[in-house]
Structure 1
Amino acid sequence: MKPLIRLKNISAAYDDTTVLKNVDLTVNANDFIGIIGPNGGGKTTLLKLILDLHTPLSGQIEKSQDLRIGYLPQVNTIDKQFPITIKDVILSGRSSTKWWHKATKAQLKRVDELLEFIGFETRHNLPIGELSGGQMQRVFLCRALISEPNLLILDEPNTYVDKTFEANLYHLLEDLNKQMAILLVSHDVGTISSMVKTIACVNGGLHYHNSNKITNEVLKSYNCPIELVSHGKVPHRVLKDHDHE
């Protein structure tokens, strides 16, 4: 079966600064790849390349003709004063339909299913401005799923999300992975190592590890330095900052 997307010997730069060099990555159906790396290592640039938001300096990007991408960015910018409802925000993610076009019965049913998952089944018409940061992140996840993508890209998806929903989110991702490939970006190794199938460390280049078992030694060999931080009483392994991007 043809891969959903394949990056071949990709390099990328901003002005005269190269941030990614000679990157190879293949994403197949039902892959679940954790993208880790220090801040400034090139994770965001990698996503921009896949999403056609940045032009590579060199190399090739091959995409399947039926590739459908759902994307949940780390930070969603929306004017909370804008008079738009939760339902309308989700429907704005329809890839083949202008957001102001009337939704089909199938699309409205999909909205109902997604809202039920996040516990908002009775809040279709709630203004987006009344939501907390975590609640808004849940709605934008639904927006990323409304067009039933075969590749879901999540950039630090637990941003602003409370711990209860974070656990539910990871159960959802396991179910979604039966239907689609997932790229999950995080700098917290412990957060994703128990979920993903394989891991790629991005730090100027890309080192693919065909396992979710990541030891400190492996990270060091990939030039992905780690440090231990504590959230309350729980220690987390996270990637240290890098000095570019």
Structure 2
Amino acid sequence: MEPLIELKNIQAAYDKNVVLKEVNLTIHPNDFIGIIGPNGGGKTTLLKVILNLITPQSGSVIKSEKVNIGYLPQVNTIDKQFPITIKDVILSGRFAKDKWWQRTNREQLKKVDELLTFIGMDNAHHVPIGELSGGQMQRVFLCRALFSQPNVLVLDEPNTYVDKTFEANLYNLLGELNSKMAILLVSHDVGTISSMVKTIACVNGGLHYHPSNKITNEILKSYNCPIELVSHGHVPHRVLKHHDHE
């Protein structure tokens, strides 16, 4: 099966500060890769390389001509003061295929309606993004990422600001979408994603690819990935030490 994206011996840096070194990763159709690692380890930089937002110092990024990437950023990077409505945010997802000056057609507006219905925000087309909660912003930008019908979906901490009900719906949706596209999911919550993804990439300066979602604390230590694995299972949970109530 032809890869959609290949990273070969990537080194990426900001000025002289090397963030990623000797990174190799191959993304095939219908992959579902969980990307984990400590803050500052290079997860976001890895995404920027994949999205062509930064040029690596060395190495190569090889993409199939068929690649169409949808991207859901962290919503805390979005300027809520920017004068744009929900409809306009979602429609901006069409720029992956269309030119910015092309007029919106009826089919595209219908797709906006369908996406807003899915996220439970019917008839919210003209609401400014400055009036949205963090969870609502995340939902709207998910719609934007899906608008162009990508075959690679990149999500950067998608559950950070969503409520628990939509979080469950989000993960169910990703399971369905994975039959149509490859998914890269960045998360700090190893317990949650380990029950969803197919494989795991630990990013901490370099990248260690684990060809399974079965991962242990011992494996994480061997990958120099200082994250505590809390639990596996269909219902992720955090186990707390016993303590007395005052």
Report the TM-score when normalising by structure 1: 0.89
Contact 2:216 2:229 in 1 (8 A): no
Give the C-alpha shift of residue 63 in structure 1: 0.3
Give the C-alpha shift of residue 183 in structure 1: 0.2
Distance 1:236 1:58, change over 3 A: farther
2:76 is the counterpart of 1:68: no
Equivalent-residue separation in structure 2 for 1:110 and 1:19 (angstroms): 39
Q: More deviation in 30-39 or 114-123?
A: 114-123
Give the C-alpha shift of residue 178 in structure 1: 0.8
Identity rate of aligned residues, in percent? 73
Number of the residue aligned with 1:17: 17
The residue type equivalent to 1:92 in the other structure is S
Moved over 4 A (4+): none
Give the C-alpha shift of residue 76 in structure 1: 3.8
Report the TM-score when normalising by structure 2: 0.89
Deviations 1:40-78 (CA, angstroms, capped at 9, x unpaired): 111111111101111111111100112111111113413
Number of the residue aligned with 2:161: 160
Contact 2:208 2:223 in 1 (8 A): yes
Q: More deviation in 127-136 or 216-225?
A: 127-136
Give the C-alpha shift of residue 96 in structure 1: 2.5
Distance 1:49 1:81, change over 3 A: closer
Equivalent-residue separation in structure 2 for 1:122 and 1:34 (angstroms): 34
SS in 2 for 1:165: helix
SS in 1 for 2:238: strand
Q: Where do 5+ consecutive residues of structure 2 fail to align? A: 231-236, 241-246
* Length, aligned pairs only: 232
Give the C-alpha shift of residue 21 in structure 1: 1.1
Give the C-alpha shift of residue 228 in structure 1: 7.2
| Structure with the higher strand share, 1 or 2 | 1
Q: Where do 5+ consecutive residues of structure 1 fail to align? A: 238-245
2:146 is the counterpart of 1:145: yes
RMSD of aligned Cα (Å): 1.8
Contact 1:228 1:235 in 2 (8 A): no
SS in 1 for 2:48: helix
Number of the residue aligned with 2:238: 235
